[in-house]
A and B are shown apart, each in its own frame.
Chain A
Amino acid sequence: MTTGTLAPSVDGRDPGHLERVRWLLSDTLTIAWRWLAAMVRLPESIVFSVIQPVLLVLMFRYVFGGAITGVPGSYVDYLMPGIFVQTVTFGAVISAVGMAEDLQKGIIERFRALPMARAAVVTGRSLSDLTRNFGSILLMTGLGFAVGFRIQTNVPAFIAGLGILLLFSWAISWGFALLGLVVSSPETAQLATFPVLLPFTFASSAFVPVDRMPGWLQAFAKSQPVSEVVDGCRALMSGGPTARPVLIALAWSLGMLAVLAPLAVRRYIRTD
């Protein structure tokens, strides 16, 4: 019935559940490859995504490193988990801008007319974010050691801390991808991230203990996700009571992922 020899047979049958899941996975990998291949082709995009974490680590380490006292242990060990979380949070801006930019391209129109899993446009993008974050976390860790950070717990605990960091970075990149899907242009996406980024990263336990802040700010700073994740990572990397902060950090990361990822996928699928 078809003249094509490559296209699967046309019978109007809907693919089964299993086949659909297989396609979603395969298409997700293809779209993730699309972004990573594009990144390799654009060396400047790699340079800039490397420069940002490097600068953040160095600036905060040496600008604030000597100024703040009265934290438990050395300030570098206190600060570094905070910088890690801040850096992956800032890095998620790329997810918002990239998603918004993509929606304006003609290729999205082609994707919508292909037999691919629709959700893969977003899940694939997110998988590439996860891969990029993994690289950026490795880079930051190495740099952290170079500027004087030392593990105060043990290696497995430290690696578990990096795991939470990666999970949180993924959750936040979904959130920012959703932002990119909601706004109408990449420029707006870029601007819209700042009102989120600044209060959450600076009014947090990332750089200074929350109990030094004025009372009205403490209420927000103590229990917002960036602080909770910083506290969890700090406990695993630099010591202190572990169970509670780690569980809360995990709960925030998984909770955000569970809410934001389906919202982003739905938003994309519903957009004409």
Chain B
Amino acid sequence: MAADSAIEVHDLTKIFRKGQVRALDGLSFETPRGTVLGVLGPNGAGKTTAVRILSTVLRPDGGGASILGLDVVKQAAAVRRTIGLAGQYAAVDENLSGRQNLTMIGRLSHLSGRVARQRADELLEQFELTDAAARSLKTYSGGMRRRLDLAAALVAEPPILFFDEPTTGLDPKTRQDMWAWTERLVAKGTTVLLTTQYLEEADRLADTVVVVNHGRAIAQGTPDTLKADIGTTVLLITLGDHEAARRAAGVVAPFGTHVPSVEAERVEMQVEHGARAGSEAMRALDAAGITVHGLVLREPSLDDVFLQLTGHRAESGSEEGPCEDQHPGLLDHDERERLRS
């Protein structure tokens, strides 16, 4: 129990009566102040349930959690004064304007009227919503709503922030912005707990990652150690035909950690240092006079993490809460690409 722990969770259990779902099954982790903790897992892993308990919205059935040393059940009122919440379901009032939303949150956080209005204007400016400040949210795009949602979490300048899948379903630009904003907040000393389904996002933002599956932590570490555990990057080379691919496989084999596999006109091989192996392979192929049509390095995906950690693909999610939809456990690669574009 480190004294400078910002968030501490031990043996957290939550069972939803409906359908006897064990959403959390002994989840434990902790994170020091001023860092980003990435909680990584498929749909239904229990990420949202954990955030709801930490933000005092839901009571745990077993175990405990504390924020800055304050118990989330016994000192819930004090916890609420230290946290901000933003997430995939933009929690803002449709019927009000952007400025009205932020002023209301400020007043409900017990800022004075003057400070609440001032803070609202600052945040609208910061999130490039000043022009739309007086308009009803009904006229906002999805990205604008999410920006306002994030702004709403920051109104009272809480030292602890929970971002529940902050970039799920966002366009690439807003996603990049969201990352940049998060980094700025952390630079100022804020502690962020971020849940995500994207390894890339955890890799970019998190100091520590907890991988959650079936309501339990199955791995914990820095993104680099996690990736090191998974091992390797995948090098994909496309050649003119099958014959060329077979010859290429022989040429690049020394640069990989495993024997390359050949399928049709493609060669696939695991490598340790992606960029270096890629350029070495390229040079060797060039020297051998083999024409390369394409060369791609693929970072390990969340699927690869799960495959490595559990020996099987992430299973489709057991239902997490009343509003959880029936998505398969993980978006497949194509779907993820579609969401990004």
Contacts and interface: CB of A to CB of B under 8 A. Distances in A.
A30 B82 contact: no
Given A38-B93, A106-B91, A113-B55, A7 B109 contact: yes
A114 B56 CA distance: 9
Interface of A: 1-8, 10-15, 23, 26-27, 30-31, 33-34, 37-38, 41-42, 105-107, 109-116, 120, 272
A6 B96 contact: no
Contacts of B147: none
Interface stretch (B72-80, B220-228, B245-253, B286-294): B72-80
B104 A30 contact: yes
A228 B77 CA distance: 43
19 contacts: A1-B68, A2-B158, A6-B115, A6-B157, A7-B81, A8-B110, A10-B70, A10-B78, A26-B110, A27-B107, A31-B108, A105-B91, A106-B90, A107-B91, A109-B89, A110-B152, A113-B57, A114-B109, A272-B59
The 5 closest A-B CB pairs, nearest first, are A38-B95, A4-B157, A106-B91, A110-B91, A3-B189
Interface in B80-126: 80-83, 85, 87, 89-97, 100, 104-105, 107-111, 115, 119
A110 B105 contact: yes
Contacts of B56: 112-113
B136 interface: yes
B338 interface: no
A111 B115 contact: no
A42 B109 CA distance: 26
A188 to B, nearest CB: 15
Contact of B70 (A4, A12, A34, A272): A12
Contacts of B108: 27, 30-31, 111, 114-116, 120
Given A7-B159, A10-B68, A113 B78 contact: no
Nearest to B34: A3
A112 B58 CA distance: 9
B188 interface: yes
Given A10-B68, A115-B80, A37 B158 contact: no
A104 B109 CA distance: 22
A215 B110 CA distance: 58
Contacts, number: 120
Given A3-B188, A10-B78, A34-B93, 12 more contacts: A4-B157, A7-B157, A10-B68, A12-B69, A14-B78, A38-B93, A41-B136, A106-B92, A110-B105, A111-B108, A112-B57, A120-B108
Interface of B: 52, 55-59, 68-70, 75, 77-78, 80-83, 85, 87, 89-97, 100, 104-105, 107-111, 115, 119, 136, 152, 155-159, 188-190
Contact of B159 (A2, A34, A272): A2
B91 A109 contact: yes
A120 to B, nearest CB: 8
Main SS of the interface on chain B? loop
A7 to B, nearest CB: 5
Contacts of B59: 272
A12 B75 contact: yes
B191 to A, nearest CB: 9
A7 B85 contact: no
A113 B67 CA distance: 13
A160 B12 CA distance: 57
A113 B85 CA distance: 7
Nearest to A106: B91
A6 B156 contact: yes
Given A30-B104, A107-B92, A3 B83 contact: no
A115 to B, nearest CB: 4
Contacts of B119: 6
B95 A115 contact: no
A88 to B, nearest CB: 23
Nearest to A124: B108
Contacts of B115: 6
Contacts of B78: 10-14
B65 to A, nearest CB: 14
